[in-house]
Homo-oligomer: A and B are copies of this chain.
Amino acid sequence: MPTITAFENSPDRGRGHARDMRVRWAFEEVGQPYDVRLLSFAAMKQPAHLALHPFGQIPTYEDGDLTLFESGAIVLHIAERHDGLLPKDANARARAIAWMFAALSTVEPPIVELSMAMMFERDRSWYAERLPGLQEHVRIRLGELSRRLGKADWLDGAFSAGDLMMVTVLRRLNSSGLLDEYPDIAAYVARGEARPAFRRAFDAQLAVFNAASRS
């Protein structure tokens, strides 16, 4: 059974924004059981973990003699080996993978930049002046995404690993209010969150956080 790593005590307080959520959700979509090894922040920067993940992050993936890092690579690896996350048709498969890269390379960076500023720059002199520009960068991407998505359920035909990545990236905006400006995208995220596999993955990571809080 593959083993992944996750935060022992997630800084998102169990809201499922940590990147192990993507891998958990992928496992649940394809019906593949997995083990989880929890790591403290200190352990993530120790040699034992750095041997698995050069950047000292979570998640990692270990299965036999294969070790992987990067949530995108792990989800793609799972999707290539099990039915349920990539279309059979070669062209549709390539497009689903393109949406995975779009989620990580084009949509996620301005969202992370905004959320980092909201977390770490609130007390800086420039915060009020800089915030509107950061929000605007996110709005541009949301507008483009909304125009492409329209009233469709998913980005390109059936639910795929591309939707899985995009929904997890967009969920970081849940508390920002920005998604409310794009009802089609808010509905898309809600559609992802309503999938039984998402719920199982979400509950699993929440249980870890709740256990850490009680201890």
Contacts and interface: CB of A to CB of B under 8 A. Distances in A.
Contacts of A54: 102, 144-145, 147-148
A94 B66 contact: yes
A184 to B, nearest CB: 13
| Copies of this chain in its oligomeric complex | 2
Nearest to A145: B54
Interface string A27-67: 00000000000000000000000100011110000000111
A67 B145 CA distance: 17
Interface stretch (A72-80, A189-197, A207-215): A72-80
A98 B69 contact: yes
Contacts of A104: 72, 101, 104-105
Interface in A72-103: 72-74, 76-77, 91, 94-95, 97-98, 100-102
Given A101-B104, A141-B55, A95 B109 contact: no
Contact of A125 (B74, B108, B113, B126): B126
A69 B102 contact: yes
Nearest to A104: B105
A68 interface: yes
A72 B55 contact: no
Interface in A108-127: 108-109, 112-113, 124-126
A126 B71 CA distance: 34
B91 A65 contact: yes
Contacts of A124: 126, 129-130
Interface string A138-163: 00010011011000000000000000
23 contacts: A50-B144, A54-B144, A54-B145, A54-B147, A57-B106, A66-B91, A66-B94, A67-B95, A68-B95, A69-B98, A69-B102, A70-B101, A72-B101, A72-B104, A73-B97, A73-B100, A73-B101, A73-B102, A76-B97, A101-B104, A105-B105, A125-B129, A126-B130
